[in-house]
Amino acid sequence: MCTRPDTLAAALADSPAGLAAWIVDKYRAWSDCGGDLESRWDKDTVLTVAPLYWATGTIGSSFRQYYDYHLNERVPPITVPAAVTLSHEPAYAGYPRSLAERQCTDLRHWSTPGRGGHFMAHEEPDQVAAELRTFFRLLRDAR
């Protein structure tokens, strides 16, 4: 996805079964499920996602952010109030707050809740809602 997203997109756009298999694999690998997909997701949930990408033809555009991220050497700093909530996926283990503070010059909230993987808002919606409420409460109280 990060190096040749269009090649992968073309392959997945050619076969609904291939797209479904790829999505199931990503849900298993990237979710906070310890490799046991059905401990986190029921079959209906996972099997609803693949047709959404298939019917809308958007699997390729969903890859662009990963590719584009690696093209940008320098991203302008974020100067508005910001919050960071790290998912529990291995890629973010030990991610230092200092890096976020370099990018977000007004970091108001930092959280590492310890659960939720790549699909955090889908996996832990109550947790994400609580994080948003905490951040907006901080903004409101700062006025």
- pLDDT at residue 5 is higher than 80: no
Q: Please tell me whether residues 44 and 89 are part of one structural domain.
A: no
Predicted local confidence at residue 139, as pLDDT: 96
Residues 128, 120 contacting (CB under 8 angstroms)? yes
- Does 32 fall in a domain? yes
* Range 126-135 average pLDDT: 96
How many structural domains is the chain composed of?
2
Q: What angle do CA 97, 99, 102 make, to 5 degrees?
A: 110
* Range 79-93 average pLDDT: 89
Which position has the token pair 């190096």?
3
Please tell me which residue, 100 or 64, carries the higher pLDDT value.
Answer: 100
- pLDDT at residue 70 is higher than 90: no
Predicted local confidence at residue 35, as pLDDT: 87
- pLDDT at residue 138 is higher than 90: yes
134 Cβ neighbours under 8 A, 6+ residues apart: 83, 109, 111
Q: Please tell me whether residues 11 and 41 are part of one structural domain.
A: yes
- Does 76 fall in a domain? no
Q: What is the pTM assigned to this prediction?
A: 0.78
Give the range of the structural domain holding residue 44, as residue numbers without chain letter: 5-71
Grade residue 66 by pLDDT with cuts at 50, 70 and 90.
confident
- Does 59 fall in a domain? yes
Domain boundary among 48, 71, 94: 71
Exposed, middle or buried, 22 (CB in 10 Å: 0-12/13-18/19+)? middle
Domain boundary among 49, 71, 93: 71
